[in-house]
Structure 1
Amino acid sequence: MKWRGRRGSRNIEDRRSSSGAKAGGIGGVGVIAVLVIGYFLGIDVTPLLQQTDPQPSAPTELTQADIAAGEFVSVTLADTEEVWAQLFQEQLGRDYRPATLVLFKGATQSPCGGASGATGPFYCPGDKKAYLDTEFFTVMEERLGAGGEFAAAYVVAHEIAHHVQNELGILGQANQLRQQVSQADSNAISVRIELQADCLSGVWARTAAQNFGSISRGDIEEAVNAARQIGDDTLQRAAGQRPMPHTFTHGTAEQRSRWFVAGLQSGQIAACDTFATDDL
C-alpha cells in the first residue's frame, strides 16, 4: 500500500500523549488478549479489566512506531473522506459529513463508554467518532495472522463504514431494533450491521484503488485474509471453543470475506444491503 508522503486527514483527535487510566491486575499483553477476545466474541470482559480501581497513568511518550502508525491512519482516513464524499454525491446525490478518528493508547472515554476494555476499534454514534488504539494492528499480525498495511487499512475503513451507516440512518434504526428483541435476534442484527460494514469497506477499496493508485492486488488479498481471520467461527475455534452461531455478532470468516469482495466487485452502496437478503 502506497501511503507515505500522501495527504493526511485533519479529522484526527490524538489522545495518545495525554494521561489516561490503567487497570490493575492485568499486564499490557494480557489486556490486549482480553480485548481481542471480548471484541470479536461479543463478550463483556470489562470486569476482568477492572480488577482494581483504575489508577492514573503518566503521559505516554510516543515512539517512532506510534508516530508512523498515526501518520498511516491519517492518510487512510483522508482516503475514506475523499472516496465517500465522491460516492455520496455520485450514488446518493447528497453530501458526506466525515467522522473524527480518535487515536488512544491503553484507555480513553467516549459517550459509548470506556474504550479501554472489551471494545477494540469501534465507532460511537453518540459523538460520530471512531476509536482506535493502533496497538491493535500488532495484535492482528501477531495473534490473529492478519498482518499487512492494507489489513490495517481495512480496520480503519470498517469503522468508518459504520459512520457511513450512521449517516444513512441505518445504524440508528438497527440498534434501536436490537434493544427490542431477544439476545439471539440482537446478535443476528449485529451480524448484518457488521457484514454491511465489510461490504462498504470493499466499496471504498475499489474506488480508492481507482482514484489513488495506492492499492495493489496483494493489498486486497491482505484485506480478504483479515476478514477471514476475524470471523466469529475462526476466533471461537482459536479460543478452543466450538463455534456457536447464535452467539455470533460479526459473521463467519466466509461471510465477512465474501461481503467485502461483493463491495469490492460492485463499487455500489446499494449492493451492500445485508438487511434485505436471506442469503448472508
Structure 2
Amino acid sequence: MRLRGVRRSSNVEDRRRSGGRVAMGGGLGGIALLIVLAIGYFAGVDVTPLLNDSTMQTSSEPRELTPQEKLAGEFASQVLATTEEVWSQLLPEQAGRDYVPPVLVLFSGQTASPCGGASGATGPFYCPLDQQAYLDTEFFATLEQQLGAEGDFAAAYVIAHEVAHHVQNLLGILPQVEEIRQQANETQANALTVRLELQADCLSGVWATHVDGILEPGDVEEALNAARMIGDDLLQKRAGRVPQPHTFTHGTSAQRSGWFARGYEAGNIAACDTFSGDI
C-alpha cells in the first residue's frame, strides 16, 4: 500500500499517551493473551476460563509512545484519510447522503466509550452512540503474528471495516437492525449480526476498489486473506471448538472473503445487500 504523500486525517483522537496499558502477569503470556482475546471477540467464544490465571493491571501514568506505536498511529491516520476521500464522494453519488467522517480513537490496553469499556478483549469496534471507531494499535501485531493475516493492507482492511459500520449508521441500517435484534432470540440476533458484518466486509471492498491508485501488487490478496483468517468457523476451530453456526456473529471465512470480493468487483454500495436472499 503506497501511503507516501497521503495526508493524515485530523479525525483521530490518540489516547495512547494517557496510560491504560494492560500489564500481563502470571498464566498466559502477553502475546498468548492477545490471541485468546482476539479469538474471543471474533468467534463469540467465552474466554473467561482462559483468563482466570492471568493478572491484568493497568497504569494511568502518562508515557511516551514507542517508535512502533508512532508508525502504527501514522498508518491508521493515513488509512482513515483514504476512507474519508472515498466515502465523501461515493455516499452522495450512490446513496444521496452527505458523508460526515467518524473519529478514530486510538488506545492502548483499555479505554472508555459510550458503548462500554474497550479493551483488547473487545477488539476493534464502532460505537454508533458517539459515531467513533475504537482501535488498539497492538491489534495490528496480533493480526499478523497470531492470526496469520499479514501485510499492511490487511491492517487497512480492519480500519475500513469499522468505517464501513459508520457508513451503515449514516444510511440508517445500524439502528434498524438493532431494533429488530432487540425483539429476536439469540440465534436470530446472531444471524442478523452476521449479515451486518458481511455487509461491512462488502463495503470495505467497495472502498478498496476506489483507492486502487495506492494499491500495490498483492494488496487485495492480503485483505482477502485477512477476511478468511477472522472467519468465525476458523477462529472457533483455533479456540478448540467445533464450529457452531448458530453462534456465529461475523460469518465464515468463505463468506467474509466472498463479500469483500463482491464489493471490490462491483465498487458500488448497491452490491452489498446482505439482507436479501442467501449469504
Quick check: TM above 0.5?
A: yes
Distance 1:131 1:18, change over 3 A: same
SS in 2 for 1:8: coil
1:9 aligns to 2:12 (yes or no): no
Matched with 1:38 is 40
Pick aligned residue for 1:140 from 135, 140, 143: 143
Matched with 2:119 is 116
Moved more, 161-170 or 176-185: 176-185
Contact 1:20 1:57 (C-alpha < 8 Å) held by counterparts: yes
SS in 2 for 1:97: coil
Structure 1 residue 60: Cα displacement: 3.2
Pick aligned residue for 1:188 from 188, 191, 195: 191
Per-residue CA distance 1:25-71 (angstroms, 9 max, x = gap): 56533441232122111235579489778643422321111111111
Contact 2:18 2:60 (C-alpha < 8 Å) held by counterparts: no
Unmatched tracts of structure 1, length 5 or more: none
Q: What is the CA–CA distance in structure 2 between the aligned matches of 1:7 and 1:141, rounded to whole Å? A: 25
CA RMSD in angstroms, aligned pairs only? 2.0
Hey, which of these two has a bigger chunk of strand by percent? 2
TM-score (norm 2): 0.93
Q: What is the CA–CA distance in structure 2 between the aligned matches of 1:235 and 1:155, rounded to whole Å? A: 16
Matched with 1:29 is 31
Matched with 1:64 is 67
SS in 1 for 2:195: helix
Distance 1:23 1:176, change over 3 A: farther
Which consecutive aligned stretches of 4+ in structure 1 deviate over 6 angstroms post-superposition?
A: 49-53
Matched with 2:255 is 255
Unmatched tracts of structure 2, length 5 or more: none
Matched with 2:131 is 128
Matched with 2:154 is 151
Letter in 2 for 1:99: P
Letter in 1 for 2:187: A
Contact 2:105 2:134 (C-alpha < 8 Å) held by counterparts: yes
Percent identity of paired positions between Structure 1 and Structure 2: 62
Structure 1 residue 4: Cα displacement: 2.7
Structure 1 residue 179: Cα displacement: 1.6
Q: What is the CA–CA distance in structure 1 between the aligned matches of 2:48 and 2:238, rounded to whole Å? A: 21
Q: What is the CA–CA distance in structure 1 between the aligned matches of 2:89 and 2:7, rounded to whole Å? A: 17
Matched with 1:271 is 271
Per-residue CA distance 1:142-179 (angstroms, 9 max, x = gap): 11110100000000000000000001010111122112
Moved more, 118-127 or 14-23: 14-23
Structure 1 residue 257: Cα displacement: 0.4
Distance 1:242 1:103, change over 3 A: same
Distance 1:66 1:56, change over 3 A: closer
Q: What is the CA–CA distance in structure 1 between the aligned matches of 2:113 and 2:107, rounded to whole Å? A: 11
Q: What is the CA–CA distance in structure 1 between the aligned matches of 2:242 and 2:59, rounded to whole Å? A: 39
Matched with 2:172 is 169
Q: What is the CA–CA distance in structure 2 between the aligned matches of 1:150 and 1:22, rounded to whole Å? A: 27
